[in-house]
């Protein structure tokens, strides 16, 4: 086990990314739907000093990138678990890198993977922010559908995956409306979800390009928690899944 922290962003990078997120919005139509999403409103600083742009979606303000802190907001280090034997079924807070993504150029884009025991501390987020509950993710979903974020411009049903996924780092898909189909039409919201992969409770990684998701702050049992799930070959997302708390998933933050 090691506690080496990943590299931090330089401030210039955040300005560049903030501009890119702002430019991600474009007027919607049935052929090229996009909800009206506000540009970045502020930046957030985590316990490691990493900076995150934010974006407003409906009444909620979200971080526009995955969390990558290696410390809780009281300064307590979160152990880095690379070895399978350490990660497997561990019930203490841990983080790891997405598979083969420990290089500093990948970490700002992909963030880190946390088990739910790190989320459960309620100390991952800086003051004024928190890991969103399952209900807050549902509000996010409902707003985007009602705003026309479905890939086909409809305002019913769940087809919002393309609108929140990045234009890179996803496997190709032949299915119309799927995340991996015509990546140039992704990310109408600027939410920039990359295909990070995840880590099973067994310690085995799912590689990048196929999946991503986020923990909710909602535990469903002593060893399972709610999460959001995205797959390159699908147009929808799942907000009804719950996985073992010892799994590793990315984390987003929402403003209090």
Q: Which residues contact 64 (CB under 8 A, 6 or more apart)?
A: 17, 21, 40, 52, 53, 54, 55, 190, 191, 192
Token code pair at residue 144 = 């985007």
Give the model's pLDDT for residue 13: 35
Helix (H, G, I), strand (E, B) or coil at 46: coil
Rounded to 5, what percent of the chain is helix, strand, coil?
Answer: 20, 25, 60
Give the model's pLDDT for residue 103: 67
Give the model's pLDDT for residue 36: 43
Give the model's pLDDT for residue 240: 63
Q: Report the chain's terminal Cα–Cα distance, integer Å.
A: 34
Q: What global pTM score does this model have?
A: 0.84
Token code pair at residue 30 = 């049935």
Rounded distance, CA 51 to CA 54, Å? 10
**pLDDT, one tens digit for every residue, the chain (256 residues):** 433 444 443 333 333 344 333 333 332 333 333 344 555 568 899 999 999 999 999 999 999 999 999 999 999 999 999 999 999 999 999 999 998 777 667 898 999 999 999 999 999 999 999 999 999 999 999 999 999 999 999 999 999 999 999 999 999 999 999 999 999 999 999 999 999 999 999 999 998 999 999 999 999 999 999 999 999 999 998 776 788 999 999 999 999 9
Give the model's pLDDT for residue 79: 98
Which of 26, 58, 25, 60 is CA-nearest to residue 39? 25
Give the model's pLDDT for residue 35: 41
Which of 141, 124, 131, 143 is CA-nearest to residue 225? 131
């Amino acid at each position: 086990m090691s506690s080496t922290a990943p590299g931090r962003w330089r401030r210039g990078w955040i300005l560049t990314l903030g501009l890119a997120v702002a430019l991600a919005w474009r007027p919607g139509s049935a052929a090229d739907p996009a909800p009206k999403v506000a540009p970045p409103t502020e930046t957030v600083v985590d316990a490691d000093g990493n900076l995150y742009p934010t974006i407003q979606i409906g009444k909620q303000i979200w971080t526009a990138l995955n969390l990558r802190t290696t410390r809780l907001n009281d300064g307590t280090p979160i152990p880095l678990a690379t070895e399978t034997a350490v990660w497997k079924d561990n019930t203490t807070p841990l983080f790891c890198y997405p598979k083969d993504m420990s290089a500093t150029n990948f970490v700002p884009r992909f963030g880190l993977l946390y088990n739910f025991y790190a989320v459960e501390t309620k100390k991952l987020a800086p003051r004024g922010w928190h890991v969103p509950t399952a209900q807050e993710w549902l509000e996010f979903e409902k707003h985007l559908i009602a705003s026309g974020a479905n890939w086909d411009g409809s305002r019913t049903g769940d087809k919002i995956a393309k609108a929140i996924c990045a234009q890179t780092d996803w496997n190709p898909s032949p299915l119309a409306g799927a995340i991996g189909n015509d990546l140039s039409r992704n990310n109408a919201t600027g939410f920039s979800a990359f295909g990070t992969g995840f880590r099973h409770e067994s310690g085995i990684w799912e590689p990048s390009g196929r999946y991503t998701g986020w923990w909710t702050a909602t535990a469903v049992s002593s060893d399972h928690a709610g999460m959001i799930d995205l797959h390159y070959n699908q147009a929808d997302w799942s907000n009804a899944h719950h996985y073992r708390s010892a799994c590793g998933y990315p984390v987003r933050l929402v403003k209090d």
